Amino acid sequence: MTQLQYKGTGSATGRTGSRYWRSKSAYLGVIPFLIVSGLFLLYPTWNVASGAFQDNYGKFSTSVLKQVFNSPVARHAFANSLEISIKTAIAGAIMGGLFAWAIVNGKRDGYFYRFSVALSSVLAQFGGVMLTFAFLATFGFNGLVANFALKVAPNSFLAESSWLYGMLGLSVLYTFFQIPLMVLVFLPTLENLKPQWREASDALGGKVWEYWLRIGIPILTPSFAGAALLLFVNSFSAYATAQTLINLTDFLTPLEIATALTSETGGSNPAEAKSLSFFMVVVVIIAMTFYALLRRRVSRWEQRR
């Protein structure tokens, strides 16, 4: 009897041990993600944060940080970055949200739904040199639309391509890839709106505006605000599009950072670049903190529904 009990216990222990190691081996798939995150996210962030409090000789100093903070050029570039990020985030969130709503109202398994999601996935990554070239070939000097406007409406703003090389043109380009990103981020939230809620509101005598005011908007607001914050961070850190379109060293903070790192006149200043990057990291951390709080609220609602 004792021997049988011993064998049974050993068998159970073996099964328990194998399950234990199987559960632990499942975490091995996270190791590549942790390595990539450490090399390309955590280490650069630490390098920027520590380098912002050092001078060009590697000694601890806050002089460069204060110099950047008090610099009118750096403040102007930072203000431009904040302005274009806020404007394009709002425009992209509104237009992308409306487009996502139009997609949800169609057939989930229809061609329009699948085509719109696939197109949004492509256009959300369509930035940088490719996007700039597309707009220059369309709206730039000797572009398709510009030449057509010169013949049809020579006094219109489309005939004068100078608008493309300023804040307005850059905002249009940023909004172009913000809209599809908003569609991808906001579409799952709209799909979670159950039609039974609308039917229940109608059955209880509720009007359309009452449904949206008391049910739809309170549910969608956290996700919409979180998606808008994500768009803000996306445009705030964009570099290639502005570099290929405007190429002004003091127009945006990312351009000023690139100039401080790769000056052709021998005036490179890595400490200044790290200080500028540090202020950008602070803004991104604040925005992503609010985004995480909003996502946690949305996840609690999704678990309750």
Which stretch of 77-81, 84-88, 217-221 has the lowest confidence by average pLDDT? 217-221
Dist CA 16 CA 24 (whole Å): 12
Question: Closest by alpha carbon to 274, among 57, 44, 43, 80?
Answer: 44
Q: Is 69's pLDDT higher than 80?
A: yes
* Residue-range domain boundaries for the chain: 1-51, 61-304
Higher pLDDT, 128 or 185: 185
Q: Is 20's pLDDT higher than 80?
A: no
Q: Is 13's pLDDT higher than 70?
A: no
Q: Cα 50 to the chain's mean position, in Å?
A: 25
* Residue-level length of the chain: 305
Alpha helices by DSSP H, 140-269: 144-152, 167-191, 195-203, 208-211, 217-236, 240-245, 253-261
What mean pLDDT value characterizes the chain? 85
pLDDT reported for residue 6: 44
pLDDT reported for residue 16: 57
Six-digit token string for 135:
């707009």
pLDDT digits (tens, 9 = 90+) for 89-124: 999 999 999 999 999 987 777 888 999 999 999 999
Cβ proximity of 190 and 104 under 8 Å = yes
Question: Closest by alpha carbon to 167, among 249, 242, 266?
Answer: 242
Q: Is 142's pLDDT higher than 50?
A: yes
Task: Work out the pLDDT band at 302, boundaries 50, 70, 90.
Answer: low
pLDDT digits (tens, 9 = 90+) for 192-247: 888 888 888 888 888 888 888 888 888 899 899 999 999 999 999 899 888 888 87
Q: Name residues whose C-beta falls within 8 Å of residue 243's C-beta, 6 or more positions apart in sequence.
A: 254, 255, 258
Cβ proximity of 265 and 152 under 8 Å = no
pLDDT digits (tens, 9 = 90+) for 162-172: 888 888 999 99
Dist CA 55 CA 57 (whole Å): 5
Six-digit token string for 285:
């951390």
Q: Name residues whose C-beta falls within 8 Å of residue 23's C-beta, 6 or more positions apart in sequence.
A: none
Dist CA 65 CA 67 (whole Å): 5
DSSP string, 104-134: HHS-TTSHHHHHHHHHHHHHTT--THHHHHH
Taking residue 80's Cβ as centre, other Cβ atoms within 10 Å add up to: 20
pLDDT reported for residue 301: 64
Share of the chain above pLDDT 90, in %: 34
Q: Is 11's pLDDT higher than 60?
A: no
Rg (C-alpha) for the chain, rounded Å, is: 26
CATH class of 61-304: mainly alpha
pTM score, whole prediction = 0.83
